């Protein structure tokens, strides 16, 4: 086998191992969160999502799956979700005028309402703008949680 194939094989095996570990350690937490998010939607709320870099892409993907659908074999109504990472004018004006560390919190202030939810995604768990968005969400009564 080639060295490239071995690297690809190792990467896939690592991914499988990580997912198995996540499921073993977090299945009950994920189920609890899913129930809370279902209640947010049932009560007319929406889900806001934010993150930086790859986590920004993850937030956009998550919001798209909620709005459009996850699987064609499971038809359901659209779920209201907004990725706070997509508006270049808001992000650049916010970065310039109020600081990049505040761009998500400001959007939560503008778009979030009591009964909504915020998902903050951060690989490091230390992204100041994500943490401030969670603080703002808590301040105005949103269900907030992080994938850190």
- Percent helix / strand / coil, the chain, rounded to 5: 60, 10, 30
pLDDT for residue 120 = 98
Which residue ranges form the domains of the chain, and what is each CATH number? 44-147 (3.40.50.10490)
Task: Please report which confidence band the pLDDT of residue 53 belongs to, taking 50, 70 and 90 as the band edges.
Answer: very high
Task: Please report which confidence band the pLDDT of residue 105 belongs to, taking 50, 70 and 90 as the band edges.
Answer: very high
Model confidence, pTM: 0.89
| Average pLDDT over every residue of 136-145 | 98
Q: Considering only CA atoms, which of 108, 89, 86 is closest in space to residue 97? A: 89
- Please state, rounded to an integer, the average pLDDT across all residues of the chain: 95
| Average pLDDT over every residue of 30-51 | 97
pLDDT score of 3 more than 90: no
User: What whole-number distance in Å separates Cα of residue 98 and Cα of residue 109?
Assistant: 14
pLDDT for residue 1 = 61
């Amino acid at each position: 086998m080639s060295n490239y194939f071995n690297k690809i094989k190792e990467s896939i095996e690592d991914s499988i191992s990580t997912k198995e570990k996540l499921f073993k350690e977090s299945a009950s937490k994920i189920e609890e969160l899913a129930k809370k998010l279902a209640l947010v939607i049932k009560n007319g709320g929406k889900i806001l999502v934010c993150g930086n870099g790859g986590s920004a892409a993850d937030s956009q993907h998550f919001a798209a799956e909620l709005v459009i659908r996850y699987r064609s074999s499971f038809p359901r109504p659209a779920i209201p979700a907004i990725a706070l990472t997509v508006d270049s004018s808001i992000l650049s004006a916010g970065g310039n005028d109020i600081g990049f560390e505040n761009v998500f919190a400001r959007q939560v202030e503008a778009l979030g309402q009591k009964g909504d939810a915020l998902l903050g995604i951060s690989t490091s768990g230390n992204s100041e703008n994500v943490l401030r968005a969670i603080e703002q969400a808590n301040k105005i009564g949103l269900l907030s949680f992080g994938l850190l």
